[in-house]
Chains A and B, each alone.
Chain A
């Protein structure tokens, strides 16, 4: 049996009122309410709810103020909450189904309004001869979009639903639509569409592109990510704006040093120092964001008797983050920052010279990509193989940086390679990188918590807070050692014969 459509669009010349009066001639109906409502769609900046097949809408009228989480195709309700103001973060929601549903996709991201739609909504009951409700309808009369009907079937009344659906399709000749089209059309009016931002790199390159032209495209893409995340970073809307901003900066720096000899040396020198400065000024806030995001975990690892004692660390981190964020925002609003970023943008927008001063600019990007990835891959192997159980931490940190360079190169150029294979290659590197990342993160956190305890002691925090932080340092140290111990196992997985063959096949092939 095919499923009944539950959403229909009215033709653009048919108002809800006119439709209801026509409908009255066909079925026994009862208008329950009619109200002017404002619908606001919500999602995170990177569309996490939409990606999880959910749409979040807030409907506010004089008598209703309800936040709903709906399935993005059929529109059926996953959870709803009667609430006056929409919270920004999942932890601010009251406990219950809504919070349970929204927390996993949202993670640390803020829920932001996407667009507002004013409409008149009619809630209607369809009755049988016993005056029993057999189907509920919602008819939305929009100011700027086509009007819509949504059917809310009732359990045990499938026949009534089928009969009514046939009436809409055969007699009224209405077209079924999907629930998500309301959001899509509302966004269209703003010149937007769903999923128009993702932190993932998706740069389409052609193998025979000139290397300088391709690298220019990559830099433009990264510059766009910097611009897109800039205001959210300054406003500290959520911690991911700064994270994505920093990733774009780091990728640009990596590009400037790794996509070698495609830009003139003096240009690289001029702009690399600006991006290095950007990396540096954004660091302290990001570090504090990470500590704050890890705070629930910090608390969880403590013995129950110490869990409440760690609270002053949270206050301390909040205060420090606020200060660091303030300083960062000032720098990102400064004329110097704007001047330098504009200079980079202007450079990227200049027409490419017929013959570039840079030695590898005229090469095809495919050749250059192969060459660079293969070279950095060899370096990863060499550095990795040199690491023994007694190697110092620096050796692992150096390897981590080399891996990052390799990862960025593979991501910049992924459109040049067969999709499945390049994804597998990136995945094999990712698993190995995570051990190196953990090792570094736990070490930095361990040292920072130790430093914070010095500062907090001067502020005369209770002894038990310092005790709790001591336990935390011990925990971070254990995790760091665990990551260190996992290194050789993860590295041997990465250098398995099948992976080596895959890297060789991918990056030493001819165009």
Chain B
């Protein structure tokens, strides 16, 4: 089982669409896949038409009173399940803080799912918090979408520093460009410069595209309503790069 967190300190960078679309591709390639919507806004739950409601809320979930398996919902796609969000997830930080070894908590909760799933995608809320620390502990890969702007670049550097300072050796950071608009000169330039300065940034670039935005209208992953497009190809290429980087 490989746990992949789609994470960025900044919001609105395409974390949810990355988690949802890559999970869709994993499932289509016959990998048993789960998306855990950890964001109280419940965007990935919305994309899968699943009610953002978890029995017992964040408290019982973190306490381990309910097994995660019992809270999981099948999506409309074969091999692809979802652990929905709940509005109470806005308090996840507080609830974690009340536990012993809070940063180990998610890892422990996820362990029993190892025999059932090949891939688990954690769709994370933004910010660096206790929850994100717990996410870093639980994940094998940190897939971080960055919009090609100077500000995003700063957050990437912050994240790298954080990983270094906290000695998080077991996690592999995989940044990639997201919502890239080729019509904008600045986007093109930043992509070019950054690719040279940061060779660890993946080659695949997810474009800023209307068919990705349509996910909210269609309420399903991109591949569910579009068979062929530049965006579909971009996610396919990102998926292949991701698969290749799994050691």
A: residues with CB less than 8 A from B are 125, 130-133, 154-157
Contact = CB atoms under 8 A, between A and B. Distances in A.
10 contacts: A130-B51, A130-B219, A131-B49, A131-B219, A132-B48, A155-B81, A156-B71, A156-B73, A156-B81, A157-B74
Given A132-B48, A132-B50, A157 B76 contact: no
A156 to B, nearest CB: 3
Contact of B72 (A125, A132, A133, A156): A156
Contacts of B76: 125, 132-133
Contacts of A157: 73-74
A155 B49 contact: no
Contacts of A125: 76
Nearest to B50: A132
B95 to A, nearest CB: 23
A64 B244 CA distance: 31
Contacts of B50: 132
Nearest 9 CB-CB pairs, A to B? A156-B73, A132-B49, A154-B74, A155-B74, A133-B76, A130-B49, A156-B72, A155-B72, A156-B74
Contacts of B49: 130-132
Contacts of B71: 156
Q: Which of B50, B71, B74, B81 has the most CB of A within 10 A?
A: B74
A135 B81 CA distance: 14
A133 B219 CA distance: 12
Nearest to B71: A156
A372 to B, nearest CB: 55
Contacts, number: 24
Contacts of A154: 73-74
Contacts of A156: 71-74, 81
Contacts of B51: 130
Interface in B62-95: 71-74, 76, 81
A435 B72 CA distance: 53
Contacts of B74: 154-157
Interface residues of B, number: 11
Contacts of B72: 155-156
A157 B76 CA distance: 12
Given A133-B76, A156-B81, 20 more contacts: A125-B76, A130-B49, A130-B219, A131-B49, A131-B219, A132-B48, A132-B49, A132-B50, A132-B76, A154-B73, A154-B74, A155-B72, A155-B73, A155-B74, A155-B81, A156-B71, A156-B72, A156-B73, A156-B74, A157-B74
Contacts of A130: 49, 51, 219
Interface in B132-185: none
A130 B72 CA distance: 18
A30 to B, nearest CB: 10
Interface of B: 48-51, 71-74, 76, 81, 219
Contacts of A133: 76
A66 B51 CA distance: 34
Nearest to B30: A96
A433 to B, nearest CB: 41
A156 B53 CA distance: 12
A154 B81 CA distance: 10
A133 B49 CA distance: 9
A133 B76 CA distance: 6
A47 to B, nearest CB: 31
Nearest to A133: B76
A133 B71 CA distance: 17
Contacts of B81: 155-156
Contacts of A132: 48-50, 76
A156 B71 CA distance: 7
A493 B198 CA distance: 74
Contacts of A131: 49, 219
A290 to B, nearest CB: 39
A127 to B, nearest CB: 9
B113 to A, nearest CB: 12
Nearest to A128: B49
A304 to B, nearest CB: 27
A171 to B, nearest CB: 25
B43 to A, nearest CB: 15
A155 B72 CA distance: 7
A133 B74 CA distance: 9
B180 to A, nearest CB: 32
Nearest to B46: A130
B17 to A, nearest CB: 19
A320 B48 CA distance: 61
Q: Which of A125, A133, A154, A156 has the most CB of B within 10 A?
A: A156
A103 B219 CA distance: 42
A135 to B, nearest CB: 10
Nearest to A131: B49
A314 B53 CA distance: 62
Contacts of B219: 130-131
A329 to B, nearest CB: 43
B75 to A, nearest CB: 8
A379 B90 CA distance: 84
A157 B81 CA distance: 12
A500 B122 CA distance: 67
A154 B82 CA distance: 12
A38 to B, nearest CB: 23
A125 B78 CA distance: 13
A29 B246 CA distance: 40
A4 to B, nearest CB: 16
A155 B49 CA distance: 14
B56 to A, nearest CB: 15
A157 B74 CA distance: 8
Most buried by A among B49, B51, B72: B49
The listed residue with most B CB atoms (<10 A of its CB), out of A125, A130, A132, A157, is A132
Nearest to B84: A156
B161 to A, nearest CB: 40
Contacts of B73: 154-157
A156 B49 CA distance: 13
A131 B71 CA distance: 20
A133 B82 CA distance: 13
A79 to B, nearest CB: 12
A30 B71 CA distance: 26
Contacts of A155: 72-74, 81
Nearest to A154: B74
Nearest to B69: A155
Contacts of B48: 132
